[in-house]
A and B are shown apart, each in its own frame.
Chain A
Amino acid sequence: MKARVTVFPRPEVLDPQGKAIKGALERLGFTAVSDLRAGKSFDLELTTADRGEAERQLKEMCEKLLANTLVERYEIELPAEGWR
């Protein structure tokens, strides 16, 4: 089963990278961006076919390693079709 985890800085945490990227977009003429947060994503291939089990495992992975929940929040996606 394919899964994707995305991790972003929490809203209350300053994101200097996101700010710098937004500034660069503005210099390229993309002035319609009012906010930009830089995060990271992880594509995982899981051996389980059980969605509930997959979600439980992914949540634990995020809490224990993939995200530092003090400063980051995470989202878990389990698309029916998976990603290419």
Chain B
Amino acid sequence: MKCGVVLLPGSNCDHDVYHVLKHTLGQETVFLWHENESVEACDLVVVPGGFSYGDYLRSGALAARSPVLAAVRRHADAGGLVLGICNGFQILCEAGLLPGALLRNRSLRFEHRDVCLRVERDDLAFTRRYRKGQVLSIPIAHMDGNYFGTEAALDELEAAGRVVFRYASPDGGLDDAWNWNGSARAIAGIVNAGGNVLGMMPHPERASDPLLGSTDGLALFEAAVESLKESLEVAR
């Protein structure tokens, strides 16, 4: 069982994710440099937040074409677990691993605050420790988090149950006032058709220690590690 954190020029949440996986959860964890041609047999690959390549061209656009992302794509195609957080979500969309695009926030401001997230799926490797309808407190910190998809694509996502998290009020309501970046249908996180690639704008690694005010994000990493261990047991 091995975890990898992708390290792109301009990543800045890589060490936070590494800390959670390596020190909080005690898992073997390595960094995967952007020029890597493989994910070095990692079972879980995290594409962390930051400003990869200075957000040049479009957020995530250049990272999506880097060698390590080709390796991440092969890992995902083989059913491997991939988690993209914030800039990592933007990168997975730019790479075509997830549908849609993340546009400039409706407010035109960098939005950074603890937000309430409503859990829409509790049956995924990443979300099995949550309950459907549960409201989590996890921070966001981004300029381009306004999820966009065509109406048809959004309907398809909804019909397939691929919306995993939505921005919500503390009691789980979907009032627009709680949709901090203007995302279509308040979407904060989605999963691919296979259920193994999750992209989300909020930062679970920043809600993984009581010192940081919330541990709601830790359960996501615990769930991924737990389900990987189970599938490795089955394979043995």
Chain B neighbourhood of A13, CB < 8 A: 103, 148
Say which residue of B58, B65, B104, B182 sits within 8 Å of A17 (CB atoms). B104
Chain B neighbourhood of A14, CB < 8 A: 103, 106, 182
Q: What is the bound-complex CA distance between A6 and B98, given in angstroms?
A: 26
Q: Is the CB of A16 within 8 A of B100?
A: no
A42 to chain B, nearest CB (A): 9
A71 at the interface (CB under 8 A from B): yes
Q: How does the 8 Å CB contact mask read for A56-84 relative to B, with 1 for contact and 0 for none?
A: 00000000111010110000000000000
Do A16 and B61 form a contact, CB below 8 Å, given A68-B94, A68-B101, A70-B100? Answer: no
Chain A neighbourhood of B104, CB < 8 A: 16-17
Q: Is the CB of A65 within 8 A of B103?
A: no
Q: What is the bound-complex CA distance between A29 and B126, given in angstroms?
A: 53
Interface set, chain B 38-93, CB cutoff 8 A to A: 57-58, 61, 65
Chain A neighbourhood of B108, CB < 8 A: 16-17, 20
Q: What is the bound-complex CA distance between A8 and B224, given in angstroms?
A: 39
Say which residue of A16, A20, A64, A68 sits within 8 Å of B58 (CB atoms). A68
Chain B neighbourhood of A68, CB < 8 A: 58, 61, 94, 101
Q: What is the bound-complex CA distance between A7 and B186, given in angstroms?
A: 27
Interface set, chain A 6-26, CB cutoff 8 A to B: 12-14, 16-17, 20
Chain A neighbourhood of B61, CB < 8 A: 65, 68
Query: Which A residues contact B (CB, under 8 angstroms)?
Result: 12-14, 16-17, 20, 64-66, 68, 70-71
